[in-house]
């Protein structure tokens, strides 16, 4: 072993080749070698012996609404990136809404970068937004380093981020495909939503009926058709409806360039258990039935679903009223996603290497960061989560770093505790204590 400044040793290092006892050498913030567990530590290098705690690559969460600036009372870069670090996440990609301004022009991107720069405890990148009327802004945003573009096919929930109809979707997608970009899509069809019964009120069953599976299925079918026609690269955000899985699998088999994510809440919470009036469980598309959840897990196992991201989308507590029709839709889980997913994954017979593939490796690949992030391998950034998989804890909202401590997971007992988090070879969090922000702003290039 040579040139190492730091060696992290664990009996359970999650590498792309599997879980094994190893010593991971780090220099200048980069992993230089993955060596046998008992390898000699070079003179001058510091040894961190983690015992049986698992060493994971830092998670890469490509779906986070930081809301800063403009709705900083909902969340902000300081609080979001601390919560992420506490959850073992070392890279997040910020959604282009619900901040003000939205990330739909290069000027707006610069505003957001300026706000984030000194507050980022972890690495932060940005998605751009595709809106009616901003086709001319897409290439400049791409050149400025956004990781791709988000579009809605139905109303987004905020007025400043209108959705695309099918004609405008085609126009934006053609432009994005022209420069080799990626379009990520909130896929619910507005006509199916309009046709669904809209009762409002506190009953979860009524809310679920107002966001039917066929709204997702129809929107995804239309997106597949557009992607096929343009040979475009598209990504389905927060898949909830398992009925869309065969469409996606077929499209992929025929060569359509489509990837898919789902979220911890669809994988760990079910419609049957949501209490009426409990709008901390409200998100769009909604949490569906247990039988639907089983099929999402099957799709993760067989690879139809590529990855798992939080869709962390908080608001202030007063917007989480007991009327599901008008309450803010969004679930906060940055700090809890790893433990929540691991708890259920383990129960279903999956290993930590599966969880790392879904929450780090594949998400890094989605945004083209896989040369630097997403694996414990030589040449990658020395970003790690030290994780005690067998340890359990009960979710106490007061212990969350989220700005608003509203969570659908309150009171749940989860497996897996993040003991420390490392960014480019520096421990940024241990035993609840954070360093000063050391995150960097990331560009696609
Ligand atoms: Zn979202």
CA of 309 to the centre of ligand 1 (A): 10
Q: Which residue has the tokens 């390898």?
A: 39
Q: Which two tokens stand for residue 270?
A: 């079910």
Same domain (yes/no): 24, 115? no
- Asked, for residue 444, whether it belongs to a domain, the answer is no
CA of 331 to the centre of ligand 1 (A): 9
Same domain (yes/no): 154, 237? yes
Q: What is the pLDDT along the chain (445 residues), one digit of tens a residue?
A: 457 999 999 999 999 999 999 999 999 999 999 999 999 999 999 999 999 999 999 999 999 999 999 899 889 999 999 999 999 999 999 999 998 999 999 999 999 999 999 999 999 999 999 999 999 999 999 999 999 999 999 999 899 999 999 999 999 999 999 999 999 999 999 999 999 999 899 999 999 999 999 999 999 999 999 999 999 999 999 999 999 999 999 999 999 999 999 999 999 999 999 999 999 999 999 999 999 999 999 999 999 999 999 999 988 888 888 899 988 889 999 999 999 999 999 999 999 999 999 999 999 999 999 999 999 999 999 999 999 999 999 999 999 999 888 899 999 999 999 999 999 999 999 988 999 999 999 999 7
CA of 237 to the centre of ligand 1 (A): 8
- Asked, for residue 50, whether it belongs to a domain, the answer is yes
Same domain (yes/no): 50, 66? no
Same domain (yes/no): 289, 204? yes
Same domain (yes/no): 316, 345? yes
Q: Give the other-Cβ count within 10 Å of 213's Cβ.
A: 20
CA of 93 to the centre of ligand 1 (A): 11
Same domain (yes/no): 272, 289? yes
CA of 313 to the centre of ligand 1 (A): 6
CA of 17 to the centre of ligand 1 (A): 32
Residues 380 and 67: their CA atoms lie apart, in Å, by 29
The pLDDT, as a whole number, for residue 2 is 53
Three-state SS string across the chain, please? CCCCCEEEEEEEEEECCEEEEEEEEEECCEEEEEEECCCCCCCCCEEEECCCCEEEECEEEEEECCCCCCCCCCCCHHHHHHHHHHCCEEEEEECCCCCCCCCCCHHHHHHHHHHHCCCCCCEEEECEECCCCCHHHHHHHHHCCCCCEEEECCCCCCCCCCCCCHHHHHHHHHHHHHCCCEEEEECCCHHHHHHCCCCCCCCHHHHHHHCCHHHHHHHHHHHHHHHHHHCCEEEECCCCCHHHHHHHHHHHHCCCEEEEEECHHHHHCCHHHCCCCCHHHCCCCCCCCHHHHHHHHHHHHHCCCCEECCCECCCCHHHCCCCCCCCCCCECCCCCHHHHHHHHHHHCCCCHHHHHHHHHHHHHHHCCCCCCCCCCCCCCECCEEEEEEEEEEECCHHHCCCCCCCCCCCCCEEEEEEEEEEECCEEEEECCEECCCCCCECCCC
Q: What is the CATH number of the domain that holds 23?
A: 2.30.40.10
- Asked, for residue 119, whether it belongs to a domain, the answer is yes
- Asked, for residue 125, whether it belongs to a domain, the answer is yes
Same domain (yes/no): 316, 390? no
Same domain (yes/no): 39, 134? no
Q: Which two tokens stand for residue 51?
A: 């015992």
CA of 64 to the centre of ligand 1 (A): 7
CA of 327 to the centre of ligand 1 (A): 16
CA of 259 to the centre of ligand 1 (A): 16
CA of 117 to the centre of ligand 1 (A): 22
Residues 280 and 328: their CA atoms lie apart, in Å, by 9
Residue 164 domain boundaries: 58-366
- Asked, for residue 247, whether it belongs to a domain, the answer is yes
Same domain (yes/no): 50, 154? no
CA of 335 to the centre of ligand 1 (A): 16
Residues 445 and 127: their CA atoms lie apart, in Å, by 13
Same domain (yes/no): 157, 242? yes
CA of 144 to the centre of ligand 1 (A): 22
Q: Give the other-Cβ count within 10 Å of 394's Cβ.
A: 11
From the list 90, 95, 143, the residue with the least C-alpha distance to 120 is 90
CA of 119 to the centre of ligand 1 (A): 21
The pLDDT, as a whole number, for residue 1 is 45
Q: Which pairs count as long-range contacts for 295-301, CB under 8 Å and 24+ apart, including other chains?
A: 295/242, 295/245, 296/239, 296/240, 296/242, 296/245, 296/262, 296/266, 296/267, 297/267, 297/344, 297/348, 299/242, 299/245, 299/260, 299/262, 300/262, 300/267, 300/354, 300/358, 301/350, 301/354
Question: pLDDT tens digits, residue range 364-417?
Answer: 999 999 999 999 999 999 999 999 999 999 999 999 999 888 899 999 999 999
Q: What are phi and psi of 322, to 5 degrees?
A: -90, 10
CA of 185 to the centre of ligand 1 (A): 10
Same domain (yes/no): 64, 47? no
b/e map 360-382, b = 16+ CB within 10 Å:
bbbbbbbbebbebbbbbeeebbb
Residues 83 and 246: their CA atoms lie apart, in Å, by 35
Q: What are phi and psi of 176, to 5 degrees?
A: -65, -40
CA of 219 to the centre of ligand 1 (A): 16
CA of 283 to the centre of ligand 1 (A): 9
- Asked, for residue 346, whether it belongs to a domain, the answer is yes
Question: pLDDT tens digits, residue range 190-208?
Answer: 999 999 999 899 999 999 9
Q: How many domains does the chain have?
A: 2
CA of 98 to the centre of ligand 1 (A): 9
Residues 223 and 299: their CA atoms lie apart, in Å, by 19
- Asked, for residue 445, whether it belongs to a domain, the answer is no
- Asked, for residue 372, whether it belongs to a domain, the answer is no
Same domain (yes/no): 68, 45? no
The pLDDT, as a whole number, for residue 431 is 86
| Stated pTM of the model | 0.97
Q: What is the CATH number of the domain that holds 88?
A: 3.20.20.140
Question: pLDDT tens digits, residue range 281-327?
Answer: 999 999 999 999 999 999 999 999 999 999 999 888 888 888 999 88
CA of 330 to the centre of ligand 1 (A): 8
């Amino acid at each position: 072993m040579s040139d190492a400044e730091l060696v992290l040793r664990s009996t359970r290092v999650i590498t792309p080749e599997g879980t094994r006892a190893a010593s991971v050498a780090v220099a200048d913030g980069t992993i230089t070698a993955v060596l046998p567990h008992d390898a000699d530590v070079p003179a001058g290098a510091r040894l961190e012996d983690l015992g049986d705690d698992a060493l994971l690559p830092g998670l890469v969460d490509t779906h986070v609404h930081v809301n800063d600036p403009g709705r900083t009372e909902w969340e902000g870069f300081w609080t979001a990136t601390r919560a992420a670090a506490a959850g073992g996440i070392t890279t997040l990609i910020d959604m282009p809404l619900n901040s003000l301004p939205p990330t739909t022009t290069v000027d707006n991107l610069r505003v957001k970068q300026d706000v984030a720069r000194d507050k980022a405890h972890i690495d932060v990148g940005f998605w751009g937004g595709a809106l009616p009327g901003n086709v001319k802004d897409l290439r400049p945003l791409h050149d400025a380093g956004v990781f791709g573009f988000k579009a809605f096919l139905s109303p987004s929930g905020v007025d400043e981020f209108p959705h695309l109809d099918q004609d405008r979707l085609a126009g934006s997608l053609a432009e994005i495909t022209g420069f080799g970009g990626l379009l990520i899509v909130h896929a619910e069809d507005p006509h199916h939503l309009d046709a669904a019964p809209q009762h409002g009120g506190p009953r979860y069953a009524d809310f679920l009926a107002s966001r039917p599976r066929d709204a997702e299925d129809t929107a995804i079918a239309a997106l597949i058709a557009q992607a096929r026609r343009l040979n475009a690269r598209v990504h389905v955000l927060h898949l909830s409806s398992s009925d869309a899985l065969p469409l996606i699998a077929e499209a992929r088999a025929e060569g359509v360039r489509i990837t898919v994510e789902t979220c911890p809440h669809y994988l760990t919470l079910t419609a049957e258990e949501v209490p009426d009036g409990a709008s901390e469980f409200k998100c769009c598309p909604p949490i569906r039935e247990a039988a639907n959840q089983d099929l999402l897990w099957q799709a993760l196992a067989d690879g139809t679903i590529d990855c798992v991201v939080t869709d962390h989308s908080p608001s202030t507590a007063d917007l989480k009223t007991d009327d599901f029709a008008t309450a803010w839709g969004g679930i906060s889980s940055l700090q809890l996603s790893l433990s929540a997913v691991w708890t259920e994954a383990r129960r279903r017979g999956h290993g930590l290497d599966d969880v790392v593939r879904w929450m780090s490796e594949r998400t890094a690949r989605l945004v083209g960061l896989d040369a630097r992030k997403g694996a414990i391998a030589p040449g990658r950034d020395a970003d790690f989560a030290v994780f005690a998989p067998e340890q359990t804890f009960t979710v106490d909202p007061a212990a969350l770093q989220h700005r608003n401590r509203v969570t659908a997971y309150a009171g749940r007992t989860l497996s897996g505790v993040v003991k420390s988090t490392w960014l480019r070879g520096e421990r940024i969090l241990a035993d609840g204590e954070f360093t000063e922000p050391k995150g960097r702003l990331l560009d696609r290039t």
